[in-house]
Amino acid sequence: MLTFRPLDGVLNPTVWGKPAGHPHTQDPIRDRSLETTVGVKVVATQEASAGTTPENNAPKVRAILAGGLVLGVGAAITLAAWNNSEFGQGTFTAGSFNLQGSTNGTTFTENPVDSPATLGFTTNPTNLAPGDVVSAPFAVRLDGASSNDATVLVSTSGSTGALTGLTYELTQTSGFGCGEAVTETLVASGQTLGSTPANVTFALSQGAGSDPGAAVNLCFKVTAGSTLPQAQTGSTTWEFSATSE
């Protein structure tokens, strides 16, 4: 049996457990030592035993540490990149847009479809006779909060009752009131009451700052024709629809 014990700083193999006179005690132990570049000493020992030939004596190689291993040290390098960002933000706020109407040229209010303004005709329209002409002024404008100009489309919202023998015209005037000078004819006279031609429009401008826009003054004139039936009653509603520009 082979064991290893250090001798003079070097590990040598020594034969243990063999009686005196054993052939192995008389055969010299032949050491062949090779020292590697990594600090490992390789010790090769060969034992001759009875009944073996030199060709059968295969060397037994033992590796022992001589002074420790030399370890390779690697450096792990982390490459860092500079990072930076820019951000852009947009804030979006809708403008305001509101149309107002007035039957007296001074007080402007909102008049929805379920509560339209009642036009103040100069002659009592409840007692018409053929040849009568009644008129009523109306004005529209953009309120002070409106932030866009507008195009206004005039149309007929609806009618009730009977309107036979009645026609009308719609003009734009220089001031409030049907007695003011006509600046533009929007609907020519003779238009059947309860109808409006297509594409009847006019422009409105927004006001400066918080001021309302300038009003557009209108005049409705209704004429009773010769075919007007007695005791008939009817009503019609015009719509002024503003579209922002």
CATH number of the domain that 129 lies in?
Answer: 2.60.40
pLDDT in tens for each of the 245 residues of the chain?
A: 444 444 444 444 444 444 444 444 444 444 444 444 444 444 444 444 445 555 554 455 454 444 444 445 555 666 678 889 999 999 988 888 899 999 999 999 999 989 999 999 877 788 899 999 999 999 999 999 999 999 999 999 999 999 999 999 999 999 999 999 999 999 999 999 999 999 999 999 999 999 999 999 999 999 999 999 999 999 999 999 999 98
Same domain, 105 and 162: yes
In a domain, 144, yes or no: yes
Q: Which of 14, 220, 53 is nearest to 123 (CA)?
A: 220
Tokens 């003079």 correspond to 8
CA 84 to chain centroid: 24
**Can you give the pLDDT at residue 81?**
83
Which of 44, 65, 86 is the endpoint of a domain? 65
189: which 2 tokens?
């006279």
In a domain, 76, yes or no: no
Residue-number span of the structural domain to which 25 is assigned: 2-65
Q: Which of 72, 107, 81 is nearest to 212 (CA)?
A: 107
Other beta carbons within 10 angstroms of residue 115's beta carbon come to 9
Same domain, 110 and 38: no
In a domain, 70, yes or no: no
Same domain, 118 and 231: yes
Same domain, 225 and 129: yes
In a domain, 164, yes or no: yes
In a domain, 103, yes or no: yes
In a domain, 71, yes or no: no
In a domain, 228, yes or no: yes
- Count of domains in the chain? 2
Same domain, 115 and 43: no
CA 81 to chain centroid: 31
Same domain, 150 and 48: no
220: which 2 tokens?
């409705």
In a domain, 34, yes or no: yes
**Can you give the pLDDT at residue 71?**
46
Same domain, 237 and 121: yes
114: which 2 tokens?
């379920």
Model pTM score: 0.64
